[in-house]
Structure 1
Amino acid sequence: MEWDDLRHFLAVARTGSLTDAARALKSSAATVGRHVEALEEKLGAQLFERRSTGYLLTETGTAVLAKAEEAEAAVLSLERETMGADQRLSGRVRVATTEDLATMVIVPALPSFCSCHPLISLEVLARLDLSSLTRRDADLALRTVRPDKGELLIRRVGAVDLAVYASPGYVVSRHLEEGAVDFGKVEIVSWIEEMANLRGGAWLAEHAAAARIALRVNTTRLLFDACRAGLGLAILPCFGADGDQGLVCVVPPEQVISIDAWLVMHRDLARTARVRAVADFIVSLGPRLSRRPSPGDRDWH
Structure 2
Amino acid sequence: MHYSLDHIRTFHAVAKYGSLLAASRHLGLTQPTVGRHIDLLEETLGLSLFIRGREGMRLTEKGADLVTTAGELMGNATEFERLATGLEEKIGGVVRLSANQIFGTLLLPGIIAGFMREYPEIEIEIDVSNEVSNLLQRDADIAIRLFRPAQNDLVARKVTELPMGLFAHEDYLARHPAPKSIDDLRHHVLLGQDRNPSLIGAYRAARLELATTDFAFRCDNDVAEINAVRAGIGIGPLHVGMAKNWPSVIQVLPELPIHTFELWLACHADVRHNKRIRLVMDYLAAKLRTPYQKSLT
What's the TM-score bracket when you normalise by the shorter of the two chains? 0.5 to 0.7
Matched, 1:165 2:167: yes
Match of 1:139 in 2: 141
Q: Over residues 1-31 of structure 1, what are the superposed CA-to-partner deviations in whole Å (9 max), with x where a residue is unaligned?
A: xxxxxxxxxxxxxxxxxxxxxxxxxxxxxxx
1:238 is displaced (CA, Å) by 2.1
In the alignment, the residues of structure 1 paired with residue 93 and residue 255 of structure 2 have an alpha-carbon distance, to the nearest angstrom, of 39
Match of 1:229 in 2: 231
2:225 counterpart SS class: helix
In the alignment, the residues of structure 2 paired with residue 204 and residue 217 of structure 1 have an alpha-carbon distance, to the nearest angstrom, of 16
- Cα distance, 1:192–1:201 mapped onto 2, change above 3 Å: same
In the alignment, the residues of structure 1 paired with residue 174 and residue 210 of structure 2 have an alpha-carbon distance, to the nearest angstrom, of 21
Matched, 1:269 2:268: no
- Cα distance, 1:215–1:203 mapped onto 2, change above 3 Å: same
- Cα distance, 1:188–1:254 mapped onto 2, change above 3 Å: closer
1:129 counterpart SS class: coil
Matched, 1:191 2:193: yes
- Cα distance, 1:104–1:183 mapped onto 2, change above 3 Å: same
- Cα distance, 1:108–1:128 mapped onto 2, change above 3 Å: same
1:241 is displaced (CA, Å) by 2.0
Matched, 1:123 2:125: yes
Match of 1:215 in 2: 217
In the alignment, the residues of structure 2 paired with residue 112 and residue 244 of structure 1 have an alpha-carbon distance, to the nearest angstrom, of 21
2:203 counterpart SS class: helix
Match of 1:238 in 2: 240
Match of 2:55 in 1: none
- Cα distance, 1:100–1:239 mapped onto 2, change above 3 Å: farther
Q: Over residues 225-280 of structure 1, what are the superposed CA-to-partner deviations in whole Å (9 max), with x where a residue is unaligned?
A: 22223332111112322222442211327733211011100000011110000000
In the alignment, the residues of structure 2 paired with residue 138 and residue 213 of structure 1 have an alpha-carbon distance, to the nearest angstrom, of 35
**Which amino acid is the alignment partner of residue 169 of structure 1?**
D
Match of 2:202 in 1: 203
State the aligned residue count: 205
**Which amino acid is the alignment partner of residue 269 of structure 2?**
R
Normalising by structure 2, we get a TM-score of: 0.62
Which has the larger displacement, 238-247 or 277-286?
Answer: 238-247
Match of 2:90 in 1: 88
Which has the larger displacement, 108-117 or 270-279?
Answer: 108-117
1:290 is displaced (CA, Å) by 8.6
Q: Give runs of aligned pairs for residues 13-162 of structure 1, distance below 5 A.
A: 86-162=88-164
Question: Which has the greater radius of gyration?
Answer: 2
- Cα distance, 1:267–1:93 mapped onto 2, change above 3 Å: same
1:92 counterpart SS class: strand
1:255 counterpart SS class: coil
In the alignment, the residues of structure 1 paired with residue 292 and residue 253 of structure 2 have an alpha-carbon distance, to the nearest angstrom, of 15
Q: What root-mean-square deviation, in Å, do the aligned CA atoms of Structure 1 and Structure 2 show? A: 2.5
1:96 counterpart SS class: strand
Percent of pairs with identical residues: 21
In the alignment, the residues of structure 1 paired with residue 159 and residue 289 of structure 2 have an alpha-carbon distance, to the nearest angstrom, of 8
In the alignment, the residues of structure 1 paired with residue 229 and residue 133 of structure 2 have an alpha-carbon distance, to the nearest angstrom, of 29
1:124 is displaced (CA, Å) by 1.4
In the alignment, the residues of structure 1 paired with residue 231 and residue 209 of structure 2 have an alpha-carbon distance, to the nearest angstrom, of 22
In the alignment, the residues of structure 2 paired with residue 95 and residue 271 of structure 1 have an alpha-carbon distance, to the nearest angstrom, of 17
**Which amino acid is the alignment partner of residue 143 of structure 1?**
R
1:122 counterpart SS class: strand
2:289 counterpart SS class: helix
* Residue 281 (structure 1) aligned to one of 274, 280, 283: 283
In the alignment, the residues of structure 1 paired with residue 100 and residue 94 of structure 2 have an alpha-carbon distance, to the nearest angstrom, of 20
Please, which runs of 5 or more residues in structure 2 have no aligned partner? 1-83
In the alignment, the residues of structure 2 paired with residue 127 and residue 87 of structure 1 have an alpha-carbon distance, to the nearest angstrom, of 32
The answer on whether the counterparts of 2:98 and 2:126 sit within 8 Å (CA) in structure 1 is yes
Q: List structure 1 segments (4+ residues) > 3 angstroms apart after TM superposition.
A: 177-181, 205-208
In the alignment, the residues of structure 2 paired with residue 229 and residue 275 of structure 1 have an alpha-carbon distance, to the nearest angstrom, of 38
